[in-house]
Structure 1
Amino acid sequence: MLGIRERGRAGARGGGGEAPGRGPEKRARTARDRPAGRWLWGVGTALLLLAVHSNWHLAAAAWLFPVFLLRYARLRPARHGLPRVGYALGLAQLVWLISTGMVFVPSVVAVFAVLALVQTLPFAADRLVAARAGSVCSTLVFPVVLVCGEYLFTRLAGFGDYGALGFTQHAFLPLVQLASVTGVYGVSFVVAWTASVAHWAWQRGFRWPEIRRGAVVWAGVLALVLGAGGVRLVYCAPTTETVRVAGISAGRAAERATERALHTAGEELWRPRNLVRADPRRVRAALAPVTDDLVAATDREARAGARIVVWPETQARVLANDRQRLLGRVAGIARKRQVYVNTAFALHIPRPPYVRNVAALVTPEGKVAWTYDKTHPTPMEPMTPGEGAVPVTGSPYGRLATVICYDADFPGLMRRAADQGTALIMVPANDWAGFESLHAQRAVFRSVEYGYAMVRQSVHGVATAMDHQGRIRGLADYFTADRQTLVAEVPVQPRTETLYSRTGDLFALLCTGGTLLVAALGVRGRRARAGAPGAGGERP
C-alpha cells in the first residue's frame, strides 16, 4: 500500500509523467538561469543607458547592450522577459528625456513612450521567431526588424529620425560612409547585426566548429563595409580648394543686456504677444544689443577674410517694421566686403502666432536671395511652419542652400537640397544645455548621406563645419567661450553624388519587407505548433 501511495504522489506531481520540455534537466537549467538572467538584464540595461545618443553616450555600448538583452530575453519566458526588456528601453528613454530637459514637454514624452515600444519589437521578433531557427540566417531577424522600426517611426511619428541606433557611431567615419548608400539605417543594421551574431555565438558556447561559417560571413561583410568606407575617405577626399566660412553668435554681454531689458517692469516682453503690442521704441532698444553685436561680428569676420557668414537661429529678434533696416545694414557690409551673409532671426509680426523663424541670405550685390521659414518647428515652438521649399542659389563657391536647426532631422527635407545640386548647406541653429552636442553629431550623417558640406551655427550649443564625408572642419562650443565664433575652411566643389540620394530609403524599405516576412514566419510557426500532435489539449 505504501508503495502504491508513493507512486500515486509521484504521478500527481508529474501529471502522469514529465510534461514535454519540463524534465529534471530542464528544471535544473531553468533554476540555474534565473540569477544569470537578472545579471544579464542589469548589465544590458546599464550599457543601454550609456548607449542612448546623448552628450555622454559611449559608442561601444551601442554594440554591446543588445547582446545581453537578447540573451536575457531568450532565457526567460516571453511573457516575462520581453516586458522587462521593454522596461529597460523605456527607462533609457526616460533618462534621455531628463538629461536633455525634454521630460517637461508632454507631447515629446508621449512620442518617446511609443519609441520605446517600437524598440522592443526587434527583441520580440528574435525571441519568438529567430529563437526557433538554428541557422546563422536567424541572426538577421533582429537587425531587420530594428531598421524597420526606425524607418516607420521616422515616417509616421513626425518627430524626425530620433531613436536610430546608427547615430551613436557619428565619429566612426569608415562606418559612417555606409550612410552614403543606405542612409543612417545601414549603420544601425551593422551595429545590431553584430550584436545578434555575438549572441548567436554565445548561445553555442563560442565553439568554433559550430560558429565558423556564421563568424566568417559576418567578418567578411564588416570588413567589406569598413574597407569600402576607408577607400572612400582616402580616394574621394575633398578638393584642396576651400572657402573661408564664419559662424557667429552675439556675445554673452549682449545677450544679458537684451534679456534684462525684456524682463524688466513685469511686462514680460519676452513673450511674442506682449512684445508686438509694446512701445516699438522700447522694444527696439531692448533688442538692439544682440542685433548690433551680430552686425559688428559680421563685419569683423568679413574683414578677416570670411567669404560666407552664418548667423544662429533666433538669437536676433526683429520687429516686422525693422526687418528692412536690419537687412539694409547687412547688405552694406555684404557689398563692401563681397561676402554672403545668411542672417537668421525671430521676426515678430502683429498677428498670431506673432513670430516667424526665418533665415535670409544677403548676397555680395546687397540683394536678398531668399527668405526661408523654418519647415519643422519643434513642439516647444508655437509658430506656423514654412512651406518646405528649400531655397538654393548659385555662388562662386558652389550652390548654397539653407534650412533651420530641427529641419535637418528630417531626411526627406534635406534631400530637396541635394536634388538641386547643393554644395554647401547653411543651418542656423539654437540648442540648449543638455542638448548641445546631439544635433551637431547627427548632422554628420546628413552631409554623408547627400554629399554636401554643412555649416551649422548653433548658439547655446556646439557649432560645426564639416565636409561631405563627415570630417569636422571647425567647431565652436558656446558653453566654453564668451563669444562663440566658428571659423573654418570648407572645401569648394560640386556636390558629390551619393547612391542614397538616388535610391532614397530603399534599404529601409527592404528591411520593412523583411519584417513582413518575419511576421509571416512567426504566424506560420505558431499555427504549426497549435496543430501539432499533443497541442491544444490533444494527446498522442
Structure 2
Amino acid sequence: MTFKAAAIQMCSGIDPARNVETMASLVSEAASQGAVYIQTPEMTGAIQRDREGLRAVLKDEASDLVVREAARLAGELDIYLHIGSTPIGLSDGKIANRGFLFGPDGKKICDYDKIHMFDVDLANGESWRESAAYRPGSTARMVDLPFGKLGFAICYDVRFPELFRRQAIAGAEIMSLPAAFTRQTGEAHWEILLRARAIENGLFVVAAAQAGAHEDGRETFGHSMIIDPWGRVLAQAGPAGEAVIMAEIDVAAAHAARGRIPNLKNARDFVLEQVVPAGKGGVAA
C-alpha cells in the first residue's frame, strides 16, 4: 500500500504555546498536501537548556498543550499524527522525552519514551547530560498501521543499531527518528547514520528534525529526511528554518530490498572469543 508521509521541520523555542501554533500550521499544511502520516521533531513543545526554566513550563501528559492540540489535529484532519517527542513532567520530578502517535479518531494509539540518554562531551566544548533531568525509557514500541508497521526511535537512539534491528526482525517496515541533532554531530554523522539504519534493516526512515539557532542558545542541524530501504534520500529539508517535506512510501519496497539483500534472514548467532597473545601476559589459544 502506498501512502504519503511528511516530516515537519521546526526551530522550537522556550514557549510551548508558540511552538504549538507553529506545529499546527505546519501539520495543517502537510495534511492539505495529502499526507496521512505526519511526524514532528524531537522536543516539539519546548527546547530549553535551562532545566529550571524547562520545569517551569512542564505539564503532565493529561495537561500538556502539545498532546491536546495533536489529538485535536489528528481527528480534525483525519491523519496519523506522530509527535516526535515533547517533554512531559513526571511525578518523581524527572522528565520524559516522550513521543506520541494519534490516530484519525483523535485518540492516542501509543507513546514511546526515548531509551538512550545523550550524555556526551563534544570537541567544541559542548557538554550534555540528559540523564541528569530525563528518565530513560525501557520499552521499544512498534505499531501496525493500515499502511505499514511503524517502529519508534528518538534522536540519540539512532546510534544503537540493535534497537532498529530488533524492530526490523519483528516486522517494522518504517522507522521513525525525530531528532534535535547538534550542528556538530549532525554535520559529521546525521545522514550517514540514517542511511545506514535504512540499508542494514531494509526499511524506510522518516526523520523530522529541529533546525537552526534556538532561543536557549543551542544550534541544531536540521536536514529532515525521508529515506528509502535502499538508502536513497527521497526528500530533504535545509539546515535551518521551518519546512514540510513529503514522500510517497510503498512498504512493498521494504520487502523487495530484503529480498535482494536478505541479511535479516541470513543473520546467525555467534560466540565472541577474545584471544590474548602469550607475549601480552596471557596464554595463546
Fold-level match, TM-score > 0.5?
yes
2:182 aligned with 1:442: no
Maintained 8 Å contact 1:424/1:452: yes
Provide the secondary structure at the position in 2 that maps to 1:458: coil
| Correspondent of 2:90 among 349, 364, 383 | 349
Structure 2 residue 215 is the aligned partner of structure 1 residue 463: no
- Aligned to 2:25, the other structure's residue is in SS state helix
SS at match of 2:93: coil
2:31 to 260, 280, 302: 302
The alignment status of 1:243 with 2:6, answered yes or no, reads: no
Shift of 1:502: 3.9
With normalisation by structure 1, the TM-score equals 0.42
Following superposition, the deviation at residue 416 of structure 1 comes to: 2.3
Q: Which residue of 1 aligns with 2:19?
A: 290
Decide which moves more: 319-328 or 397-406.
319-328
- Residue 315 of structure 1 aligns with which residue? 44
CA–CA separation in structure 1 for the residues paired with 2:20 and 2:242: 14
Residue equivalent to 2:51: none
Which of 136, 160, 164 in structure 2 is aligned with 1:414? 164
Which is richer in helix?
1
Shift of 1:294: 0.7
Match of 1:377 among 105, 110, 117: 117
Is residue 9–residue 237 contact of structure 2 (8 Å, CA) maintained in 1? no
Contact 1:347-1:358 at 8 Å conserved across structures = yes
Aligned with 2:263 (options 500, 505, 519)? 500
Task: Give, in angstroms, the shift of residue 306 of structure 1.
Answer: 0.9
CA gap of 1:494–1:475, structure 2 versus 1, over 3 A, is closer
Aligned to 1:364, what secondary structure does the other structure show?
Answer: coil
Aligned residues with identical type, % of pairs: 21
1:432 alignment partner in structure 2 = 182
Q: Give, in angstroms, the shift of residue 297 of structure 1.
A: 1.2
State whether residues 374 and 404 of structure 1, in contact with CA within 8 Å, keep that contact through their aligned partners in structure 2: yes
Distance 1:320 1:336 in 2: 24
Query: C-alpha displacement at 1:439, in angstroms?
Result: 2.6
Q: Residue type of the partner of 1:298? A: V
Contact 2:20 2:65 (C-alpha < 8 Å) held by counterparts: no
Contact 2:20 2:69 in 1 (8 A): no
AA aligned to 1:472 is V
The verdict on how the C-alpha distance between 1:289 and 1:394 changes in structure 2, with shifts beyond 3 A counting, is same
Counterpart of 1:434 in structure 2: which amino acid? Q
Are the counterparts in 2 of residues 473 and 490 from structure 1 also a CA contact under 8 Å?
no
AA aligned to 2:112 is Y
**Partner residue in 2 for 1:136:** none
* Aligned partners of 2:61 and 2:88 also within 8 Å: no
Cα pair 1:316 1:345 within 8 Å, conserved = yes
CA distance in 1, matches of 2:34, 2:74: 12
Q: Displacement, 1:468?
A: 1.0
Task: Provide the C-alpha distance between the structure 2 equivalents of 1:471 and 1:323, rounded to a whole number of angstroms.
Answer: 40
After superposition, give the CA deviation of every residue in 1:313-346 in whole Å (9 maximum; x if it has no partner). Answer: 1131352166465333222322232211111211
Question: Of 145, 158, 166, which residue of structure 2 is paired with 1:395?
Answer: 145
Counterpart CA distance in 2 for 1:493 and 1:393 is: 17
CA distance in 2, matches of 1:323, 1:476: 32
1:58-85: CA deviation from partner (whole Å, max 9, x where unpaired): xxxxxxxxxxxxxxxxxxxxxxxxxxxx
Distance 1:361 1:490 in 2: 18
Mapped partners of 1:504, 1:465: distance in 2: 26
Q: Could you state the TM-score of these two structures normalised by the residue count of structure 2?
A: 0.76
Structure 1 contact 397–493 (Cα < 8 Å) conserved: no
Amino acid in structure 2 at the alignment position of 1:456: A
Q: Please report how far the alpha carbon of residue 503 of structure 1 lies from its aligned counterpart in structure 2 after TM superposition.
A: 5.0
Q: How many residues align?
A: 245
Mapped to 1, the partners of 2:236 and 2:63 lie a distance apart of: 30
Q: Matched residues in 2 for 1:491 and 1:473: separation?
A: 12
Partners of 1:486 and 1:378 in 2: CA distance? 27
Q: Which residue of 2 aligns with 1:451?
A: 202
* Whole-angstrom distance in 2 between the partners of 1:384 and 1:489: 35
Give the counterpart letter for 1:288 in structure 2: A
8 Å contact 2:30–2:244 — kept in the other structure?
no
Letter in 2 for 1:426: S
SS in 1 for 2:112: strand
How far apart in 2 are the matches of 1:439 and 1:502? 27
Cα RMSD (Å) of the superposition? 2.8
Look up the SS of the partner of 1:422 in the other structure. Answer: coil
1:307–1:340 contact (8 Å) kept in structure 2: yes
Which secondary structure state, in structure 1, belongs to the residue aligned with residue 145 of structure 2?
A: coil
- Provide the C-alpha distance between the structure 1 equivalents of 2:190 and 2:167, rounded to a whole number of angstroms: 18
C-alpha contact (below 8 Å) 1:320/1:348 kept by paired residues:
yes
Give the unaligned 5+ runs of structure 1.
Answer: 1-240, 260-285, 528-540
Kept in 1, the 8 Å contact 2:143–2:151? The answer is yes
Paired residues of 2:140 and 2:163 also in contact (CA < 8 A): yes
Q: CA deviation at 1:492?
A: 2.7
Cα deviation for residue 376 of structure 1 reads 0.5
The one-letter amino acid of 1:358's match is R
Distance 2:141 2:253 in 1: 17
Superposed CA offset, 1:45-64 (max 9, x none): xxxxxxxxxxxxxxxxxxxx
- Distance in 1 (alpha carbons) for counterparts of 2:156 and 2:206: 14
Q: Indicate yes or no: 2:111 matched with 1:361.
A: no
User: More strand by proportion, 1 or 2?
Assistant: 2
Separation in 2 of the partners of 1:487 and 1:424? 15
In the alignment, structure 2 segments of 5+ residues that lack a partner are 47-57, 120-127, 211-219
Q: Secondary structure at the match of 2:43?
A: coil
Letter paired with 1:398: G
Aligned AA (1:411): P
